[in-house]
């Protein structure tokens, strides 16, 4: 390993250790009624992961999340390319997208539920509306910033429109698009979990909601830990890929 790739890994480890220490200190400060300490939480999570019922919830959440992410990426890329390639549409729609990004989308949840009904489609829709905007905004920005020389070259070579997208625009815009997908990943996860917290009978969000009702601190902590571990590790991997893509283009 080179020194350069070693240093981020070391930094992450230090941060991870500090978080564990802070957690333990916080536990000592607030006491066992409010939270469980790191080791006990990890132990309980490991125990949960051996039960079939818990895996059922994990599976449900994973399914909803993956479908929501797929939809967010496909639709986000579509909107992003469309607006990125056409200047006037971009001027018209950009601030609408940005405004949509900043509203508390949780207030739209009742509408989603009324339209899609209880169950998987509502969760997917809720995850997707969270993730789609950053992907569209980043893609739009990236496509509109592709160097005009590349586009002129494509025109000189008389490439068909879809070839222009596949061979020129997409590769040139990839690093920024990937950043958008990275942000979209995080927001889709939040959206899916929020979707499960209301009007759902299964999934990790539902499990959290019932655990609040029962004041089951152990369960809350274990589920939270699982979600945070998943989000943080996937996002770390995505950041590494992201940096690599950006460096290659530079």
Partner 1 sequence: MRRAAVFRLALVVAGIVLLELLCRTGRIDRLTMQPPSEMVRDLVVLLASGRMNGAMLKTLVNVAAAATLAVVAGVVFGVGIHRYRALRQGLEPLFATYYAIPVYAFYPMLIILFGLGDMPQILIGFMLSVVAVIVSTLSGLDRVLPVLVKTARVYRLGPIATARKITLPSAAPYLLTGVRLAVAYAFIGVIGAEFIMSQTGIGYEISFAYDNFDNKVMYPLILLILVVSVVVNASLSRWEKALLQRRSRT
Q: Point out which residues bind partner 1 (CB under 8 A).
A: 7-8, 11-12, 14-15, 30, 33-35, 88, 91-93, 95-96, 98-99, 102-111, 113-115, 183, 185-186, 189-190, 193-194, 197-198, 208-209, 211-212, 215, 217, 220-221, 223-224, 227-228, 231-232, 234-236, 239
For the CB of residue 50, give the shortest distance to partner 1 in the complex, in Å: 22
Of 42 and 186, nearer to partner 1 (C-beta) is: 186
Q: CB-wise, 186 or 245, nearer to partner 1? A: 186
Residue 130 CB, shortest distance to partner 1, in Å, is 10
**73 membership: H or E segment, kind and range:** helix 52-85
Cα atoms in the 13 Å half-sphere on the side-chain side of 5? 8
Tell me the closest approach of the beta carbon of residue 135 to partner 1, in angstroms. 14
Quick one: how many helices (H) and strands (E) in the chain? 11, 0
Handedness of CA 89, 91, 96, 100 (dihedral sign): positive
Shortest Cβ 108–partner 1 spacing (Å): 7
Nearer to partner 1, 58 or 159 (CB): 58
- Of 48 and 172, the one with the shorter C-beta distance to partner 1 is 48
Q: How far is the CB of 162 from partner 1 (least distance, A)?
A: 27
Q: Which is nearer to partner 1, 34 or 74 (CB)?
A: 34
Burial group, residue 134, by CB count within 10 angstroms (0-12, 13-18, 19+): buried
Determine the straight-line distance between the first and last CA of the chain, rounded to whole angstroms. 22
Cβ partners under 8 Å of residue 197, min gap 6: 205, 206, 208, 209
Q: Which is closer to partner 1, CB of 43 or CB of 171? A: 43
CB under 8 Å to 143, separation ≥6 — which residues? Answer: 80, 81, 84, 85, 169, 173
Q: CB 155 → partner 1: shortest distance, Å?
A: 25
CA-CA distance, 25 to 27, in Å (whole number)?
Answer: 5
Among residues 222, 198, 233, 216, the alpha carbon closest in space to that of 118 is found at 198
- Rounded to the nearest whole angstrom, what is the least distance from the CB of residue 115 to partner 1 in the complex? 6
Q: 7 vs 147, which CB is nearer to partner 1?
A: 7
What distance in Å separates the CA atoms of residue 51 and residue 23, rounded to the nearest whole number? 26
């Amino acid at each position: 390993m080179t020194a350069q790739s070693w240093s981020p890994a070391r930094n992450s480890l230090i941060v991870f250790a500090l978080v564990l220490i802070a957690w333990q200190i916080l536990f000592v400060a607030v006491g066992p009624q409010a939270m469980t300490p790191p080791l006990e939480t990890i132990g309980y999570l490991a125990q949960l992961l051996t039960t079939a019922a818990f895996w059922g919830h994990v599976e449900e959440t994973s399914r909803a999340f993956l479908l929501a992410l797929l939809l967010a990426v496909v639709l986000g890329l579509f909107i992003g390319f469309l607006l990125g390639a056409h200047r006037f549409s971009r001027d018209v729609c950009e601030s609408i997208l940005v405004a949509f990004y900043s509203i508390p989308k949780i207030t739209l949840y009742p509408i989603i539920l009324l339209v899609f009904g209880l169950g998987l489609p509502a969760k997917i829709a809720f995850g997707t509306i969270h993730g789609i905007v950053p992907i569209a905004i980043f893609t739009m920005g990236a496509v509109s910033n592709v160097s005009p020389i590349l586009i002129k070259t494509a025109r000189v070579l008389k490439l068909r429109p879809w070839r222009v997208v596949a061979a020129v625009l997409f590769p040139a815009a990839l690093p920024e698009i990937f950043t958008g997908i990275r942000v979209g990943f995080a927001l889709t996860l939040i959206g899916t979990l929020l979707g499960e917290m209301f009007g759902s009978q299964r999934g990790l969000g539902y499990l959290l909601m019932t655990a609040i009702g029962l004041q089951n601190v152990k369960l809350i902590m274990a589920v939270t830990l699982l979600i945070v571990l998943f989000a943080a590790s996937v996002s770390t991997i995505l950041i590494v890929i992201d940096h690599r893509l950006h460096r290659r283009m530079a």
